Amino acid sequence: MIDIENLRFSYPKQTDDTIKGINFSIKEGEIYGFLGPSGAGKSTTQKIITRLVNGFQGKVWIMGKDLKNWNNDYYNHIGVGFELPNHYAKLTGLENLKLFASLYDKFPQNLMGLLEQVGLAEAAHQKTQDYSKGMKMRLNFVRALIHDPDILFFDEPTTGLDPVNARNIKNIIKDLKQQGKTIFLTTHNMYDADELCDRVAFITEGLIKAEDAPKALKLKYGKPLLNVEYEDSDLKSVEFDLKNLGQNQEFMKIIKKQRIISMHTREASLDEVFVKITGENLTNIEE
Residue 36 lies near ligand ATP (rule: CB under 6 A) = yes
Residue 43 lies near ligand ATP (rule: CB under 6 A) = yes
The nearer residue to ligand ATP, 39 or 224, going by C-beta atoms, is 39
The nearer residue to ligand ATP, 40 or 145, going by C-beta atoms, is 40
Residue 69 lies near another protein (rule: CB under 8 A) = no
SS3 32: strand
CA 155 to CA 41: how far, in whole Å?
12
Site for another protein in 116-155 (CB under 8 A): 143
Which span (75-83, 199-207, 210-218, 272-280) binds another protein, by CB under 8 A? 75-83
Residue 42 lies near ligand ATP (rule: CB under 6 A) = yes
The nearer residue to ligand ATP, 12 or 163, going by C-beta atoms, is 12
Residue 10 lies near another protein (rule: CB under 8 A) = no
The nearer residue to ligand ATP, 117 or 187, going by C-beta atoms, is 187
Residue 149 CB contacts under 8 Å (≥ 6 apart), including other chains:
76, 77, 78, 79, 181
Q: What is the closest distance, in whole angstroms, from the C-beta atom of residue 186 to ligand ATP in the complex?
A: 7
Closest C-alpha among 174, 167, 212 to residue 189: 167
H runs (alpha helix) in 106-189:
111-117, 133-143, 163-178
User: Of Mg ion, another protein, ligand ATP, none, which one sits near residue 145, judging by CB under 5 to 8 A according to partner kind?
Assistant: none
Which span (27-35, 97-105, 183-191, 252-260) binds another protein, by CB under 8 A? 97-105
Closest C-alpha among 174, 193, 195, 194 to residue 185: 193
User: Of another protein, Mg ion, ligand ATP, none, which one sits near residue 80, judging by CB under 5 to 8 A according to partner kind?
Assistant: another protein
Which secondary-structure segment (H or E) carries 26? strand 19-26
The nearer residue to another protein, 16 or 105, going by C-beta atoms, is 105
Q: What is the closest distance, in whole angstroms, from the C-beta atom of residue 287 to another protein in the complex?
A: 14
Q: Is 256 exposed, middle or buried (0-12, 13-18, 19+ CB in 10 A)?
A: exposed
CA 186 to CA 154: how far, in whole Å?
6
173, 31 Cβ separation under 8 angstroms = yes
Q: Which pairs with CB-CB distance under 8 Å and at least 24 residues apart come from 270-275?
A: 270/35, 270/190, 270/191, 270/193, 270/194, 270/200, 270/214, 270/217, 270/218, 271/190, 272/222, 273/217, 273/218, 273/221, 273/222, 274/35, 274/190, 274/202
Residue 54 lies near another protein (rule: CB under 8 A) = yes
Which span (32-40, 71-79, 91-99, 219-227) binds ligand ATP, by CB under 6 A? 32-40
SS3 113: helix
Strand 182-187 to strand 31-35: parallel, antiparallel, or no bridges (unpaired)? parallel
What value, to the nearest 5°, has the Cα angle with vertex 140 and ends 135 and 141?
Answer: 100
User: Of Mg ion, ligand ATP, another protein, none, which one sits near residue 277, judging by CB under 5 to 8 A according to partner kind?
Assistant: none
Please pick, from the candidates 5, 27, 38, 68, the single residue that binds ligand ATP as defined by CB under 6 A.
38
Chain contacts with another protein (rule: CB under 8 A): 12, 43, 50-54, 72-76, 78, 80, 82-84, 86-91, 95, 99-100, 102-105, 143
Chain contacts with ligand ATP (rule: CB under 6 A): 11, 14, 18, 36, 38-44, 83, 188
